[in-house]
Amino acid sequence: MNQIRWSRSDDGAIAGVCKGLAEAFELDTAIVRILFVVFTVFGGVGPFMYIALAFALPRKDKLHSALEPKVLGVCANLSNRFEIEVGIIRFIAVFTACTSLGLTFLVYVALYFLMPEASRNIKNIN
């Protein structure tokens, strides 16, 4: 993986999620903030998604350590193996962990033991 696009801004209003996503998708920050308000009003998931993204996305000023293992290193390993941004995988893990009543945690631990040893080597981003 060459570059991480999905990241939090290091100078955003609260946690930098909206500004970071706006930069990644080349949108105005106000549009992303409006989308979070819409997700909040219609469905109530806006704040939950924002918090999950704040935990999952690496900060722009710390991208050099984005692929370091956090909890067992499963998300970083999956990111390397399938060349998907680590923030997306961590968001899916956090979001599903909170909505699946613990099933995601069991799958996460199982993946740690089932993944081949070779895929546990972490690549550096440069």
What b/e readout covers 10-36, taking b as 16+ CB neighbours within 10 angstroms?
eebeebbbbbbbbbbeeeebeebbebb
Q: Is residue 82 part of a domain?
A: yes
Packing angle between helix 17-24 and helix 29-41, nearest 10 degrees?
120
User: Residue 76 sits in which domain range?
Assistant: 17-120
For residue 4, being part of any structural domain is answered with no
Q: How many domains does the chain have?
A: 1
pLDDT in tens, 51-73: 999 999 998 888 888 888 888 88
Burial of residue 122, with CB atoms counted within 10 A of its CB: 0-12 exposed, 13-18 middle, 19 or more buried: middle
- Please state which of the ranges 7-11, 44-48, 65-69 shows the lowest mean pLDDT: 65-69
pTM over 0.95: no
Domain contains 6 = no
Residue 75 maps to a domain? yes
